[in-house]
Each structure stands twice: as C-alpha cells, then as structure tokens.
Chain A
Amino acid sequence: EPEVTQTPSHQVTQMGQEVILRCVPISNHLYFYWYRQILGQKVEFLVSFYNNEISEKSEIFDDQFSVERPDGSNFTLKIRSTKLEDSAMYFCASSDPTDQREKLFFGSGTQLSVL
C-alpha cells in the first residue's frame, strides 16, 4: 500500500541551527501538508502546498519556516533558525485530488529536538 515517507525519524539540533525535514508524498497525490504535534498537545496545521505554491498557512508558519518541492517526489520543510519551542513531532501529509482532497494520509513523522 502506498505511504508517505519521512526522513529522518529523529533529528537533534542546537538552537539557532537550520534543519530540513524531508518527505516523499504518495506518488499520485497533488496536495501536500506539514503539521506538527508538541508532546501531549493537538495536531496543528502549519502549511498546505499545491501546484508549487503555498495555498494556506497558519500563524505558526512565520518567516523562519519555508517549504519546497525541489523535484518531482520530495517535499521539504526548512526551519532557518530553530528555537527551543520548535521541538515537536512534525508530520508530512498528502492527499488525492480525485478522492476528496481533505482526506489526509500522514507520514510516520520526524521527532525534532532543539537543545
């Protein structure tokens, strides 16, 4: 069964460093998303991406964050200068435009720890 793949599964970084989280969405999906979940809290929307541009973003997604689809398969989230409060599980998701695009298929996540 097709799945969303995320790498790395764990990332430890120092405060102020840049990190790039990587995702390979399901191949025929056209909508891509990043969500995050701080331990014990809600799954929070960060950004959605369609047709090579951001379609919607949340207040969390400030200038420190950026997304990119550098090629036909990868979708990345970059955090330019990490803060302690960026520590969370980051989930990539994708959806199929032919089957109710709101149905999200999540990757297994990247646990980001900022020290």
Chain B
Amino acid sequence: QKEVEQNSGPLSVPEGAIASLNCTYSDRVSQSFFWYRQYSGKSPELIMSIYSNGDKEDGRFTAQLNKASQYVSLLIRDSQPSDSATYLCAVNAFRGFKTIFGAGTRLFVKA
C-alpha cells in the first residue's frame, strides 16, 4: 500500500516565525511532489510543486525534496495568521494518474 505520512499536528508558531512541515512517502517510483493548502471546509489549493532533489523557493514558501530519504518538506517563512490551515503533502508516481495525499498537518499561526 503506497502511503504518504505527515505529522497531524497541530503545529503552532508565532507570527513572523518559520513553520516547518514534513512528509515521508513509501513508493520509491514517485516522481512528482506537491504541497496543497486546505482551509477548513474548503477544497485543496496547490501552493508548491517539486520534481528534483534540492530546494525550490516561491515567495515565502520553500519546498525541499530528498528522494534517497523519501522525504519532502515545506518551509513557510514570515508566517502569517492567514497561513493557518491544513497543509497536505501529495505524491504522484511516474506517468501515474493517481495523486496520493497525506492526512495533512494543521498549522496555527498565532498573532
């Protein structure tokens, strides 16, 4: 069974701090990795994608991928109360049509 594992949290950080979210996956053939943000009662919204080992930065967000360790992370710099949401790690196999989601980490940013 292919799995994506995340710490459910909640992760609580003060406003302005760095939030660090982590994810591991079990299927070694996974090729595409994503972070989605989901506000309570809303649909997932794509915020980052990463395909190669290393770091990828987009504004306040940095995604990190280590395929050897089967590990993906998301850093949110200068966290804002509006970042409070559940962050879903998602993985897709090479040429696969199925994206598998983790259960998500709830993030609270305290003003």
List chain A positions with a Cβ less than 8 A from chain B.
31, 33, 35, 41-45, 48, 50, 55-56, 58, 91, 100, 102-109
Contacts and interface: CB of A to CB of B under 8 A. Distances in A.
Given A42-B102, A56-B98, A100 B42 contact: no
Interface centre among B36, B43, B88 (most CB of A within 10 A): B43
B30 to A, nearest CB: 11
Chain B, interface size category, equals 20 to 34
A43 B44 contact: yes
A107 B42 CA distance: 9
Given A43-B44, A56-B96, A91-B44, A103 B102 contact: no
Contacts of A104: 34, 36, 44, 46, 99
A66 B36 CA distance: 27
Interface string B34-65: 10101000111110010000000000000000
Interface centre among B45, B46, B99 (most CB of A within 10 A): B99
A56 B98 CA distance: 7
Contacts of A42: 101-104
29 contacts: A31-B97, A33-B97, A42-B101, A42-B102, A42-B103, A43-B88, A43-B101, A45-B99, A55-B97, A56-B96, A56-B97, A56-B98, A58-B98, A91-B44, A102-B32, A102-B34, A102-B49, A102-B92, A102-B96, A102-B99, A103-B34, A103-B46, A103-B49, A104-B99, A105-B46, A106-B45, A107-B43, A108-B42, A109-B43
